[in-house]
């Protein structure tokens, strides 16, 4: 599920989303507004205008899954205001816990490529 060790990307919807949308509506938003393939296996985050509710859509290999959360106190960070429109899975976990640490900056380092350790110049 979300705690997978695969190299997953979390794509953020670029604005407040209508939380009445289900599988088909979120599928269309992923394809049209985010510009990604909903069946890629990556995670897609949608946040309500009042920032009290959030949904994550993902394809688990057999079907679409929606993970939903409603905060009883506080509000989610307006992630669509961040410069980066992607999160890591760790940042998503912090977001879903209601952390405000994600307000303006990325908490995770950029993607590490093992081949970059070896110089090809002679």
pLDDT of the residue at 59: 93
Measured between alpha carbons, how far is 76 from 70 in angstroms, rounded to an integer? 9
pLDDT digits (tens, 9 = 90+) for 6-53: 678 999 999 899 999 999 999 999 999 999 999 999 999 999 999 999
**95: exposed, middle or buried (C-beta count within 10 Å: 0-12, 13-18, 19+)?**
buried
Percent above pLDDT 90 for the chain:
48
How much is the average pLDDT of 78-99?
A: 84
Closest residue by Cα to residue 14 from 91, 79, 87: 79
How much is the average pLDDT of 52-74?
A: 94
Domain map (residue ranges) of the chain: 10-103
Residue 84 or 113, more confident = 84
* Whether the predicted pLDDT of 109 surpasses 60: no
Strand 10-16 versus strand 43-47 pairing type: parallel
Query: pTM to 2 decimals?
Result: 0.79
């Amino acid at each position: 599920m979300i705690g997978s060790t695969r190299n997953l990307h979390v794509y953020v919807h670029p604005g407040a989303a209508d939380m009445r949308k289900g599988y088909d509506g979120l599928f269309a938003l992923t394809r049209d507004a985010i510009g990604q393939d909903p069946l890629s296996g990556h995670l897609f985050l949608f946040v309500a205008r009042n920032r009290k509710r959030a949904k994550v859509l993902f394809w688990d290999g057999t079907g679409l899954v929606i993970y939903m959360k409603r905060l009883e106190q506080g509000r989610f960070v307006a992630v669509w205001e961040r410069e980066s429109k992607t999160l890591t899975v760790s940042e998503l976990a912090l977001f879903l816990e209601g952390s405000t640490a994600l307000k303006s900056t990325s908490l995770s380092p950029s993607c590490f490529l093992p081949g970059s350790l070896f110089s090809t110049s002679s």
